[in-house]
Amino acid sequence: MMTTKKPANFITDTCDVQWAFLHKPDNKFGDPGNHNITVIVDDVLKQKIDSLKSEFSATKINGMRTTDDGTVLLKCKSSSYTKKGTPAFPCHDANANPTEAIAFGGDKVKLKITPMVINRDGSMSFFLSGVQIIDKKPYEGGSNGFEKTEGFDGSDYKAPESSSEESTPEVAEKVTEISGDGLPF
């Protein structure tokens, strides 16, 4: 099923990460799953992909799509490390040294990808062989859309322990007072 033609691996220019699932295997469609990354395709990468598609007479490019706003995205996957039981896909830093850091959306990366032409339908897929993180956005546990402002600092706040009727008799009295026939429900 896999490949009739395997063009040489290549390394992309710096790409913007749209989405990445490199921190653990994506097993939405079963185990062992895969690691994957989706990058925004710029003009240079688009030309390289179009050239490979033409050179190897591929019928289509798997994992490539255009969003509603016209942005072209390419998703590359790898199951090599998930089959070995490696939880996170190994990445490299800008100095080409291995790093514990993982690429996430908004980061800038270079990808080492392996193009393959698939036997069954003549389509071309791009498999993830390596990730080099060029620019890493600070990760703060996910973006919530808020910016820091003056006011309540909940970093040391402790939630009240759950209470029962015995510890708060005034609540039980109020509930008894309003549970008469005059309630609208």
Q: What is the mean pLDDT of residues 48-74?
A: 95
pLDDT value at position 1?
46
Distance CA(49)–CA(43), nearest Å, equals 10
Question: How far is 61 from 128, CA to CA, in rounded Å?
Answer: 15
Which residue type, as a one-letter code, is found at position 177?
E
Q: What is the gyration radius of the CA atoms in the chain, in angstroms?
A: 26
User: pLDDT tens for residues 101-123?
Assistant: 999 999 999 999 999 999 899 99
Instruction: Encode pLDDT of 68-101 as tens digits.
Output: 999 999 999 998 877 777 788 999 999 999 999 9
